[in-house]
Amino acid sequence: MLITDFLERNARLYKNEVALTEINPSDERDRATTWREASLIELARPNTPYKREMTWSEFDTRANRFANLLLSRGTKRGTKVGILLMNCLEWLPIYFGILKAGCICVPLNFRYSADEIKYCVELADVEILIFGEEFISRIDEIHNDMPAVHTLFYVGPDGPDYSEDCWERMSYCSSIAPPVAIDEFDHAAIYFSSGTTGFPKAILHNHKGLVCSAMTEQNHHGQTHDDVFLCIPPLYHTGAKMHWFGSLYSGSKAVLLRGVKPEWILRAVTEEKCTIVWLLVPWAQDILDAIESGRVDLSHYLLDQWRLMHIGAQPVPPSLIKRWLKYFPNHDYDTNYGLSESLGPGCVHLGVGNIEKVGAIGRAGYLWETKVVGENGERVKVGEVGELAVKGPGVMLCYYKNPEATDEILKDGWLFTGDMAEVDEDGFITLVDRKKDVIISGGENLYPVQIEDFLRKNDKIKDVAVIGLPDKRLGEIAAAIIELKEGMECTEEEINEFCTEMPRYKRPRKIIFADVPRNPTGKIEKPVLRQRYCHGRLVEEQIKG
């Protein structure tokens, strides 16, 4: 079975039921307009209505039209097609149209600069690129410098003269699925790594991996046809899309919310009767802060149907979940772990019945295997630290055009994640830190995540990141960049006093009060912090030397 088969099945079984709802809280001028009440061109206006909807039948029809549009431009099996769009109602029909045409979908990070877009397009051999209005200025810079890209489709009115109006062109194409033979082992998508060590790497997956993600997600969270999933993170990332695959698998509705304010999230849950919400750590923190500050009154919202809150994309502080369950005691909770190299979340998960293990990322997910190994490749003992490796049908095929990097992390079918972890007596895995983030101070290994989790217990701290700074005597020292909650004041002396409960060698030796930068998937941008603080430290030490 292919992932596109689920869409076609839903179009048959649930033809006139809503598949996707897009909510744009920043524009409430027309809360009544839906996909069915407006033309394709009207729905692509830059100022999208507050709410737009699309049925399963319309979803499949749009995907078929886009697939036929691609074929009319000479695409064939294996042609790479890039998507550069913000989350919107058009995103997923375009994605599935690419797959139905036998092409390879290449989603692009909407935060990429023009140079990064060009780099990724060239690395992935993209020939057709679809982009939205938010990216005009960036594409203006590079459209003449991408010789392999022969077609640029624009989603919206009044596109640049070097692009074609995607929706207008689609209106002339057949709504019948094209007769393209696709195999589960055919290449399906290229995603990009976070680029934490430089420019991103291209990650190649096949159709079988996409189906694995749908099956894993539905097994973990039990989506039924009656569930409603609130999707907030960017669809270009494997996390958001693979969690949505649970809705695709069960034929249930999903809501794309364009905004992350606590009030917007709770309002969407109320109005759309959402039952499952996937949050990133900062958004969950913002909701709790809004409740505790009195800015949000939960009695103003209808939340009884909300059954599951789950978090992924980064280590989750146990203190955050304890706070969450104080206000939402009836929620099931799950933590999901994954990488783009393993098609996103699910290769490890906590499981909704294991709330007593909060702090761990869990055990091997459905269809997956895990192991934690030491330097010699042997599994570590309980309580020892080693590198986490995962194995399953969602493991990437390779880093596209990068065999050296592929060989570094793929060994005998196992994907070596670069995450350091330990296993308890029940087989639950706890992340200790990224292998490359480990701080070696005076010969001792310091794991920043452990220090960060401890510091987040402080009621004044909203967010924290720990990095290593160069030190002549110890090699490195731990520095804590601390972001305080709004209205809070704190001193370095208070933090040092708070840290006396930690072993002395683990205590941060430098405290910096500043914002903690995170990328769109919620991960702390430690390379940014190292560039910001380590460079200055090196210069300072060179002067002293």
User: What pLDDT was estimated at residue 531?
Assistant: 81
Residue 539's pLDDT is 38
CA distance 157 to 272: 29
- Report which of residues 212 and 44 the model is more confident about: 212
Q: What pLDDT score was predicted for residue 315?
A: 66
Residue 98, pLDDT > 90, answer: yes
Asked whether the CA dihedral 411, 413, 419, 424 is positive or negative, the reply is: negative
Question: Residue 504: what pLDDT?
Answer: 82
Q: Give mean pLDDT, residues 77-94.
A: 96
| Domain 438-544 = CATH 3.40.630.30 | no
Q: 132 in helix, strand or coil?
A: strand
What pLDDT is stored for residue 533 in this prediction?
86
Given a contact cutoff of 8 angstroms between Cβ atoms, the answer to whether 486 and 289 are in contact is: yes
Confidence of residue 521 (pLDDT cuts 50, 70, 90): low
Query: With 80 as the cut, is the pLDDT of residue 161 above it?
Result: yes
Handedness of CA 456, 462, 468, 474 (dihedral sign): negative
Give the mean pLDDT of the chain: 88
Which range, of 4-8, 142-146, 393-397, 474-478, averages the lowest pLDDT? 474-478
- pLDDT of 31 higher than 50: no
pTM over 0.75: yes
Q: What is the DSSP letter of 533?
A: I
CA atoms of 263 and 259, how far apart (whole Å): 10
Write the DSSP symbol of residue 226: T
The residues, any chain, with a CB within 8 Å of residue 130's CB and separated by 6 or more, are: 81, 82, 83, 84, 85, 94, 152, 153, 154, 155, 166
Looking at the predicted structure, is the pLDDT value of residue 530 above 50? yes
Chain-centre distance of CA 252, in angstroms? 21
Is the pLDDT score of 434 beyond 80? no
What is d(CA 197, CA 475) in angstroms, rounded to the nearest whole number? 21
The full set of domain ranges for the chain reads 3-206, 239-434, 438-544
d(CA 420, CA 430): 9
pLDDT of residue 272: 95
What percent of the chain is modeled with pLDDT above 70? 90
pLDDT of residue 316: 77
CATH architecture of 239-434: 3-Layer(aba) Sandwich (3.40)
Q: What is the DSSP letter of 237?
A: S
**Run of H or E including 210:** helix 207-221
SS3 annotation, 273-291:
CCCEEEECHHHHHHHHHHH
Please tell me the predicted confidence (pLDDT) of residue 314: 65
Confidence of residue 113 (pLDDT cuts 50, 70, 90): confident
> Is the per-residue pLDDT at 134 higher than 80?
yes
Two domains, one topology: 3-206 and 239-434 = yes
DSSP string, 156-200: SSS--TTSEEHHHHHTTS-SSPP-----TTSEEEEEE---TTSSP
What are the residues facing 152 on neighbouring strands?
A: 129
| Per-residue pLDDT at 420 exceeds 60 | yes
- The highest-level CATH class for domain 3-206 is alpha beta
422 φψ region: left (φ > 0), alpha (ψ -120 to 50), beta (else): beta
pLDDT at residue 195 in the model: 52
Q: What is the CA radius of gyration of the chain?
A: 24
**Percent of the chain with pLDDT strictly greater than 90:** 65
DSSP 323-378: HHHHH-TT-EEEEEEEEGGGTEEEEEE--TT-GGGBTB-BEE-TT-EEEEE-TTSS
* Helices (H), ranges, 445-531: 448-455, 492-498, 526-529
